Amino acid sequence: MPQAIAYVSQKSPSTSEQEIKDLLRKSQTNNIERDISGILVYSDGNFFQVTEGEPEIITSLFNKIKADNRHENIIVIFNHSIVKAAIDGYKADFATRHEGYDSQTLSNYLHHIQTLDPKSQAVVKNVLKNFLS
C-alpha cells in the first residue's frame, strides 16, 4: 500500500527566494523520476507538502527533507498508508497566481481528501485554506 506524508514548515530565515525556486524545481524533477506524487507549495514563509508513493521511498525522502536546513519547525499533519494516491503527478509551486500557480491542483486535492480520516481532513482543510486564499 502506498504511504502518504503531509506537513507544514517554515522557511529558514537565511533561505532566499532563488533557493526556494531551485528547491521547488529540483523536487519536482526528482519526484517525477521516482514516481512520487504530491504537491509542494510555498506561500509567505511557509511550505505545505504532500508526498505519496512506495513507503520506503517516501520515508527515506522525508528523512532527507527533515534534515534540510532550508526550512524548520516541521509539523507533520499525517503519515500513514493509503489505499491509492489522491494526487495525479507532482506539482511544486509558489502559491501566488502571478507566478503561474495552478490553484486547481490544491482544489482537486481538497476534493480527494474525503478519503482521509476526519481529523486529518479537518487539519489539511485548515492549512490549505491559507494557501488558497
Ligand X SMILES: Cc1cc2nc3c(=O)[nH]c(=O)nc-3n(C[C@H](O)[C@H](O)[C@H](O)COP(=O)(O)O)c2cc1C
Binding residue for ligand X, selected from 27, 109, 116, 131, defined by CB under 6 A:
27
The verdict on 30 binding ligand X (CB under 6 A) reads yes
Phi, psi of 71 (to 5 degrees): -140, 170
Q: Which of 22, 44, 68, 102 binds ligand X (CB under 6 A)?
A: 68
Sign of the Cα pseudo-torsion (67, 68, 71, 75, in order): negative
Return d(Cα 23, Cα 28) in angstroms, integer.
8
Binding segment for ligand X (CB under 6 A), chosen from 64-72, 76-84, 109-117, 120-128, is 64-72
Please name the residue ranges forming H helices in 2-117. 17-33, 55-66, 103-112
Q: Which is nearer to ligand X, 61 or 113 (CB)?
A: 61
CA 16, 98, 110, 37 torsion: positive or negative?
A: negative
- Give whichever of 64 and 98 is closer to ligand X, judged by the CB atom: 64
Q: Is residue 3 at the binding interface for ligand X, with CB under 6 A as the rule?
A: no
Please answer whether residues 1 and 83 qualify as being in contact, where contact means their C-beta atoms are separated by less than 8 angstroms. Answer: yes
**How many residues of this chain bind ligand X (CB under 6 A)?**
15
Task: Give the binding site for ligand X (CB under 6 A).
Answer: 9, 23, 27, 30-31, 40, 47, 49, 51, 61, 64-65, 68, 70-71
